[in-house]
Structure 1
Amino acid sequence: MTATGKREWTPDQLAAIRARRANILVAAAAGAGKTAVLVERIIQRLTDPEDPVSLENLLVVTFTEAAAAEMRQRIGAALEAAVARDPENEALRRQLLLLNRAHISTIHSFCLWVLRTYFYRLDLDPGFRVMDPAEADLMQLEVMDRVLEEAFAAEPDGGPVTDLADSLGGRGDANLVDLVLRVWEFSRSLPWPEAWLEQVTASYKVTPETPLESLPWYGELRQLITLELQEAAWYLEQARQAAAAPGGPAVYLENLENEKEQVTRLLEEVGDLPWEELNAKLAAVHFGRLKAARGEDVDPVLKERAGKLRNQARDLLYALKEDLCRDEAAVRAELERSGELVTTLVGLVRRFDAALREAKGRRNLIDFSDLEHLCLRVLLDEGAGPGRLQPSDVALELRQRFAEVLVDEYQDINTVQDAILTLVSRQDVAENNLFMVGDVKQSIYRFRLANPDLFLAKYRQYPEGEGGPNRRILLKANFRSRQGVVDGVNFIFRQVFSPLVGELEYDAAAALVGRAGYPENPAAATPAVEVYLQEGKVAADTGAGEPGAG
């Protein structure tokens, strides 16, 4: 704030407030004032002397009802202040009157408005009721019990469903129920769930001529192996340093250097190896017996450290070999067997979905997932196939109505919600008007099927420069925390974030910049930061001394 009480905006905040005629992604770090920026952008759109926008022509989507209420309150307070400064301004007074009718809501509230307004576009009774989550969960379990009872009754002497249940183990059918529900819930987070289910079953239909390396899971497997090899190489390097230190068990060095060379060479090759060669290379990794390290000049602490670290690398590599090393024929047999189980699972998911829709239809009920999918049906052209976001005439009508679509906490939306927002926003080169604010580092709702990859894709694709149809703006300044806290957070995040772990490189663009302006504490010129690490479980001791033969 200035001495007059007026807020001073940073250049990046001003860019986010004033940018126009583009799809804009604002990557706002913790404490960067993103809500204040979003409110100020809305106020400046409403009061623009050259091109003012009315509240009824804005769609503002927030993550929770509480956030929507706060946003509405902030906009109202800002409008009241503007009216107080210019009481004769009829346009501002009208915006205050429109505030309670403005589309400032969660995505589900917006979907509900679409369905109430355009129910006649669907086979939907306008008197429908939206179930609360507890009621929806109870209905799902009731329907699931009935579907499984019918499925088991149809195969009294055993069959595919019984086989699937047995393969999952556990007591009763709890694991089967959990798996069917999880697959069903994930499919419902996608715009075209049936197309995804088709793709899932098709991915297991592998002909003898299909190279294993071309299958969808092979790239994921390579990433996993790469991470494990990198970890093993780190353990071996730390063990080597302990052995090479004064007083260290120098007799270990020959083994450690040889073993690290094996791992490093495999790391360099893993990205290009076909299945058989990858297995052969993994199987060839060998950890020999260490020589005895005795004598008064050997430090027992360094000896124990080198031994433990080397054991960690060995155990990790041998676990990889045990899990992965098998010939191609065995893998293809496993894929065929898995394909049979997956086909049965997908069949159960479809039967459950049909039975649940029938049960809800009898009582004229819908759930939150139905809100999204029914809204999407209204907004999609009837001829649009899977993967094609072709707007219906309703979507085109809403595009004309909404001069701008503003989305808060964009990192926490799912794929079907993103499709809805894309359809109601203008995606023409000259009129792009989707404004998204979020921080992928604060995405914590994957358990609710949020898809932060949507944010990351735009973060990587959108340029920072203005003038194009898409633009990325970074809000890195933190106005909440002392510099010591900012430095501590940056230090920790640089260690844990990477494209493979955390999905983001914590570089200068992602790091926080301290701008809180707290007065200096003379008692702590260099403030210390306390970090408390909570471990879910402690790994078992791998032993020390002379590890045995590999």
Structure 2
Amino acid sequence: MIYLDLSDREERERAAATFDRNIVVTAGAGTGKTTLLVDRLVHLLLRNPSPLDIKEIVALTFTNKAATEMKVRLRERLESYPNVRLDREPGSRAEKELFRELRSLMERYHLSKAEVDRRSREALHQLERSYIGTIHSFAASLLRLYPLEAGVDPQFAEDEGPRLERQFEESWQLYLDQELSLAGARKEDWKRVLRKIRLEEVRSLAFSLCSETIQLESLKTQSREDGTAKPVALWLKKNEERAAELIQRHPGKNYKIDEFAHAALAVIREFLARGELAAGVLQEERDLLAGSSPGRVKAWSEEDFEAARDLIRVAKNLCQVDGDLARLVTALLVPFAKGLRERFLQEGWISFDGLLVRARNLLRDHLHAREELKRQFQAILVDEFQDTDPLQYEILLYLAERTGRQAGYWRQVELTPGKIFVVGDPKQSIYAFRRADIEAYLEVVQEVIQAQGGLECRLTNNFRSHAGILNVVNGVFERLIHPVEGLQPPYVAIRPPESRTDTEPRETHSLPYRKVQIRRVESEAGPLDSDRARRLEAESLARWLSEEVLGRAEILNRNGEKVLAEPKDVAILLRKLTDVHQYLEPLRRRGVRYVVEGERHFYAAQEVIDAVNLLRVVENPSDRSALVGLLRSAVGGLEDTRIYELHRAGLLDCRAVRRVGNDRKRLLSPVKELYEALLELHEEARRLPVGQAVFRIFSRIPIKLLAAISFNGEQAVANLDKVRDQAELLAREGAGTLKEIIARLEGRVLEVKEESESALAEENVDAVRILSVHKAKGLEFPIVILAGCHALIEGRGDEPSAEYDWSTELAGLRLGEYLNLPAVYLGEKRRRREREEQKRVLYVAMTRAREHLTISCAKTERGAPTSFLAMLEECLGDLSACDSPGSLQAGDGTVEFLAVTENLAVPSRRRERKKEKKEPKDWTAYADLWKRRENDYQAAIQKPVFLTPTKLKKREIELSEGSEELRRQFSGSTDALLIGDLAHGFLQRWDFRDPTDTFHEKLRVFLASRLQHRPSDSRLKVASELEEIFGAFFSSAAYRELASVQILGREIPFLTPWNGQVMEGVIDLLYERDGQLYLADYKTDRIEKSDLEKSAEIYRHQIQIYSGAVQRALKREVAGFKLIFLRLGEALEVREGD
């Protein structure tokens, strides 16, 4: 791609075409990193010297969607090059850009157009065999290449989690039965453990240990070692110094916080000296720290108070360290986790974590495999490098190692110059909960790649947002994001391309909605608590969208044209979707269509609960609770009073319909049809496979129809389809009978198990998108509303678990209220990382907007100290002092501030309607429409799906007043058809370089098996006629031409769209002559030489169809079409347009 009018043009070109150094691209939001990745791939394929085969390149992305996009873009680019005509002036802007790009590549690498075309077609041919995909798919490929070395079944299946959960449930119960029985060898150890922590907490830890990311051997070694690990000791030392400095500044014990600070210092020093807190030691300090933490006092500055609060939290956690308990639990659980992993692998399953761990181990421990793979893959490209799991870093570093070197540890790897090309943006590293590690990213980039001569290229031109948004973003984050070692890189600003800067002020002035605004909602009754404030904000946003934005606000579309905002232009972003339902009801009430993307409460959706109740009743008609739920749903449509009447009459049972007396029939009438249907399905479902049974139930009971007419109809129907898919999946995984599968689904509903809602088939549905900031990463929207900015940002809960830190190689264990020492260190490290990460989450949210950004919040009783709003006030100042409407300055950008007063009164559902005189409805237009639809339908079902050129020509002749001669020619006798088939079959196998006098014997052998069931006189007649045909053809100039060309294919079948049908056919011959492409078709027609031109007209349609099919498939022009009349030995060349 040619980068014109870009301030970072040189950086982009250097990144795309530097091959002697490893490249790290820092690409800010919206800077076109996917385009750059495709540019790099093109340069690798076309460069001189040493062009790469596409199978020698590994290109890895974060998601399957991103991998598909990269592959599609590369395909489009490679397909476009052969179509460029250098002898013509390009017309459109896109054609001019492509023309310049191709010229630049040819000049840079001294390539001819023919060579570019050849390499492009070769890469296209191999594209589906390339390694462009996700890291998990690539890791799976490596394991399948070396299954013995990796210790896996070569036909293993990948598990996203459910299979491991099932195996754990089954194995854990058996393990407990053995361990806790009277004969258990370690029952005393279990008693000691269970005196301190609950069995459920042990179970949670055991499940965490089953993840292959936890290094079990390292955990066992760590539990046996005496002393404190070096990273933990250094951390404790820093905390001691900080505590000592605080006490030095506040030496007295006048306040409670002073006492806590001294106690914290004593605990930290005890751990530094002995690595533990023995029983009875510092008991007074322990008792003090066990109480509630002190509040702020005036004598302490805010900075000192925050530092003290952190130290007190550390000391409190250190008091909960129990090394003996951790060692005991490790000894009990590690054998179980190890055994479960082995059984899981033996059954042919590998978890997603296991793919990465085993691929890393394969490359690290099996040097011959590493060496072979290093030679196979000559270039490695990685997208979203900042979100990569540290295990993936190791895989990539081992593959990028110099040939012949075999480092045993990733930090010692010596890289091959020019082999690594990574693209990322540390400002968008927001996936710590998926084990993305900003510390690991910075360590690999700075201490490995750049330390070995790697080149950093920065992309700063943003193509998404206008200058008004980008100036605000830069103004905020230049003040908010400061470098913190291992946690936060320096901020790199993003700018609009220079070519757009001059037009921005004029466009913004003419479109006042193109802006950034902070919209604070205030209650008429004064500040509210956080929950009521969120409800008030939701009501206000719904009103604002319906009354002021949708259909009213003017924005620019992608083509730069003014348009009115539609629902699909709007995205509401939330930091997390926990409270999303409070935002949905006001939108639903005002008729604003929406789609929630990334909603994890699939099993809490009403239609899913109704579906599970339906399945329960069908499977067990005596399930009263499920029946009540079904009757209260849209399926039953009964009010509670009617259900109570059925209960009083003993009719809350489907089977009552078959035994009810006349005195109770009236009560049963509203549900009689439903009861009968449920009983019929009960009988049917027992005889059907699970998938068919669920399909039958959903077809018989109109649950999908009722879902479709609900407010969120598309999503509801998609969710019901997912229920069926889940049932089928459970059946395939061996979950058992319909009864067992329904029980599993019921359990998930009761637990509200996290599961994403089904993705809608129609991505372009006209609805407001509601999604989390994490889900929105990589996307853009014309209008973005960042909602709930006043809400407190809470860290991850400290549930019992095991975690492994890649940088320090430490494993932390959480056992209820107890921990091991590394867990305290890792917990504090995680808190600091999350604190910095939340700034990056805000950055990602604010850079999604193309035209308009609204930051929405509500005024609460007490402002949250950690919230998006608090971060913004840190940069913009206290909003309570700002006039409304007013403006705030953020660097070179301006933020409009607007305070809106609302109340929590729910709007009336009733709408006033003007009394209008009813006019009689004219249904004529509708009747005509349905008549046309009926006619179109009848025409469609009479038209065959598939069509051939011969059938098409026959139909045209039958409909026309064609000559009798043409009719006879196309009707053909049985013998004529047989002769044609045999002639085509023989020539398909004939080598045009063979001596022509050998055809007699080869024809005899060919016909022997094909005519053996025909009478002898018929066989002789057919053989004689074919010899006559081939005698004339093999001695002709047409034959000699075919003997001198390059044959590309014979009898090639094809399918191609044709006027609403599918045209199918077979191309007899495809060949190249003088670099041009030709098609040939054999004809066995009996015609005179003088009638050749006239006969050729008959096949005009066939020529057009065949040529068009080849051009679409091969992306090449067809130079000509040869009709070869075998009996005459004549070839008639026909060109399109002749």
Q: TM-score, normalised by structure 1?
A: 0.68
Query: 1:479 is matched by which residue type in structure 2?
Result: F
Distance in 1 of aligned mates of 2:245 and 2:481: 15
Q: How far does residue 222 in structure 1 lie from its aligned partner after superposition? A: 5.7
Tell me what 2:809 maps to: none
Residue aligned with 2:153, SS: coil
Residue aligned with 2:509, SS: coil
Query: 1:396 is matched by which residue type in structure 2?
Result: E
Q: Does 1:179 align with 2:205?
A: yes
Q: Does 1:535 align with 2:796?
A: no
Q: Does 1:110 align with 2:138?
A: yes
Distance in 2 of aligned mates of 1:423 and 1:277: 37
Q: Would the aligned equivalents of 1:180 and 1:345 in 2 still touch at CA under 8 Å?
A: no
Q: How far does residue 318 in structure 1 lie from its aligned partner after superposition? A: 6.9
Tell me what 2:560 maps to: none
Tell me what 1:55 maps to: 54
Residue aligned with 1:37, SS: helix
Give the aligned length. Answer: 457
Q: How far does residue 480 in structure 1 lie from its aligned partner after superposition? A: 1.8
CA offset digits 1:49-84 (Å, max 9, x no partner): 433211011011111111111111011011011222
**Which of 388, 397, 407 is equivalent to 2:382?**
407
Distance in 1 of aligned mates of 2:152 and 2:132: 25
Distance in 1 of aligned mates of 2:460 and 2:191: 54
Query: 2:82 is matched by which residue type in structure 1?
Result: V
Tell me what 1:434 maps to: 420
Tell me what 1:40 maps to: 39
Query: 1:220 is matched by which residue type in structure 2?
Result: W
Query: 1:376 is matched by which residue type in structure 2?
Result: R
Query: 1:196 is matched by which residue type in structure 2?
Result: S
Q: How far does residue 317 in structure 1 lie from its aligned partner after superposition? A: 7.1
Tell me what 1:152 maps to: 180
**Which of 195, 202, 222 is equivalent to 1:200?**
222
Q: Does 1:220 align with 2:235?
A: yes
Q: Would the aligned equivalents of 1:128 and 1:364 in 2 still touch at CA under 8 Å?
A: yes
Distance change in 2, residues 1:451/1:165 (3 Å) = farther
Distance change in 2, residues 1:358/1:163 (3 Å) = same
Tell me what 1:167 maps to: 196
Q: How far does residue 129 in structure 1 lie from its aligned partner after superposition? A: 2.2
Tell me what 1:121 maps to: 149
Please state which structure has a larger fraction of its residues in strand: 2
Q: How far does residue 139 in structure 1 lie from its aligned partner after superposition? A: 2.3
Distance in 2 of aligned mates of 1:148 and 1:53: 56
Matches within 5 A, 1:378-457: 378-382=362-366, 392-427=367-402, 428=414, 431-457=417-443
Q: How far does residue 339 in structure 1 lie from its aligned partner after superposition? A: 1.8
CA offset digits 1:181-239 (Å, max 9, x no partner): 33553xx337xx24531453245x23xxxxx7x75324334666889999999xx9xxx
Distance in 1 of aligned mates of 2:486 and 2:242: 13
Residue aligned with 2:322, SS: helix
Distance change in 2, residues 1:430/1:62 (3 Å) = closer
Q: How far does residue 128 in structure 1 lie from its aligned partner after superposition? A: 2.5
Query: 2:196 is matched by which residue type in structure 1?
Result: S
- Runs of 5+ consecutive residues of structure 2 not aligned to the other structure: 85-112, 274-281, 286-295, 403-413, 519-785, 795-859, 865-1138
Tell me what 2:466 maps to: 482
Distance in 1 of aligned mates of 2:441 and 2:450: 15
Q: Would the aligned equivalents of 1:189 and 1:415 in 2 still touch at CA under 8 Å?
A: no
Q: Would the aligned equivalents of 1:232 and 1:314 in 2 still touch at CA under 8 Å?
A: no
Distance change in 2, residues 1:474/1:132 (3 Å) = same
Greater alpha carbon shift after TM alignment, 496-505 vs 174-183: 496-505
Matches within 5 A, 1:229-268: none
**Which of 333, 340, 355 is equivalent to 2:324?**
340
Query: 2:131 is matched by which residue type in structure 1?
Result: H
Tell me what 1:292 maps to: none
Q: Would the aligned equivalents of 2:438 and 2:488 in 1 still touch at CA under 8 Å?
A: no
Distance change in 2, residues 1:132/1:184 (3 Å) = closer
Distance in 2 of aligned mates of 1:60 and 1:436: 10
Q: How far does residue 463 in structure 1 lie from its aligned partner after superposition? A: 8.4
Tell me what 1:72 maps to: 71
Query: 1:219 is matched by which residue type in structure 2?
Result: L
Query: 2:425 is matched by which residue type in structure 1?
Result: D
Distance change in 2, residues 1:276/1:358 (3 Å) = closer
CA offset digits 1:319-344 (Å, max 9, x no partner): 56766679xxx98xx69x72212213
Distance in 1 of aligned mates of 2:328 and 2:356: 27
Distance change in 2, residues 1:150/1:63 (3 Å) = farther
Distance in 2 of aligned mates of 1:103 and 1:506: 33
Q: How far does residue 148 in structure 1 lie from its aligned partner after superposition? A: 4.0
Q: Would the aligned equivalents of 1:426 and 1:432 in 2 still touch at CA under 8 Å?
A: no
Q: Does 1:132 align with 2:118?
A: no
Distance change in 2, residues 1:6/1:15 (3 Å) = same
Query: 1:128 is matched by which residue type in structure 2?
Result: F
Matches within 5 A, 1:493-504: 493-500=477-484, 503-504=487-488
Tell me what 1:460 maps to: 446
Q: Does 1:21 align with 2:20?
A: yes
Q: Would the aligned equivalents of 2:386 and 2:436 in 1 still touch at CA under 8 Å?
A: yes
Q: How far does residue 396 in structure 1 lie from its aligned partner after superposition? A: 0.9
Distance in 2 of aligned mates of 1:454 and 1:374: 20
Residue aligned with 1:437, SS: strand
Distance change in 2, residues 1:215/1:114 (3 Å) = closer
Distance in 1 of aligned mates of 2:377 and 2:298: 63
CA offset digits 1:275-330 (Å, max 9, x no partner): 6999x9xx9xxxxxxxxxxxxxxxxxxxxxx977969779767756766679xxx9
Distance in 2 of aligned mates of 1:451 and 1:435: 19
Q: How far does residue 464 in structure 1 lie from its aligned partner after superposition? A: 7.1
Distance change in 2, residues 1:314/1:436 (3 Å) = closer
Q: Does 1:93 align with 2:106?
A: no
Q: TM-score, normalised by structure 2?
A: 0.35
Q: How far does residue 98 in structure 1 lie from its aligned partner after superposition? A: 0.7
Residue aligned with 2:421, SS: strand
Query: 1:409 is matched by which residue type in structure 2?
Result: E
CA offset digits 1:159-195 (Å, max 9, x no partner): 44444455345xxx3322223333553xx337xx245
Distance change in 2, residues 1:321/1:456 (3 Å) = closer
Q: Does 1:512 align with 2:494?
A: yes
Q: Does 1:10 align with 2:9?
A: yes
CA offset digits 1:247-278 (Å, max 9, x no partner): xxxxxxxx9xx999x99xx9xxx9xx966999
Distance in 2 of aligned mates of 1:541 and 1:53: 58
Matches within 5 A, 1:282-293: none
Distance change in 2, residues 1:133/1:539 (3 Å) = farther
RCO higher in structure (CA 8 A, sep ≥6)? 1
Question: Please, what is the CA RMSD of the aligned residues?
Answer: 4.7
Distance in 2 of aligned mates of 1:151 and 1:491: 61
Work out which of the two has the higher radius of gyration on C-alpha atoms and give 1 or 2.
2
Query: 2:55 is matched by which residue type in structure 1?
Result: E
Distance change in 2, residues 1:320/1:534 (3 Å) = closer
Tell me what 1:295 maps to: none
Distance in 2 of aligned mates of 1:168 and 1:197: 20
Query: 1:534 is matched by which residue type in structure 2?
Result: A
Query: 1:484 is matched by which residue type in structure 2?
Result: G
Residue aligned with 1:167, SS: coil
Distance in 2 of aligned mates of 1:489 and 1:502: 23
Query: 1:176 is matched by which residue type in structure 2?
Result: V
Q: Would the aligned equivalents of 2:209 and 2:337 in 1 still touch at CA under 8 Å?
A: no
Identity fraction in percent:
22
Tell me what 1:350 maps to: 334
Q: Would the aligned equivalents of 2:8 and 2:458 in 1 still touch at CA under 8 Å?
A: no
Distance change in 2, residues 1:494/1:224 (3 Å) = farther
**Which of 444, 457, 460 is equivalent to 1:473?**
457
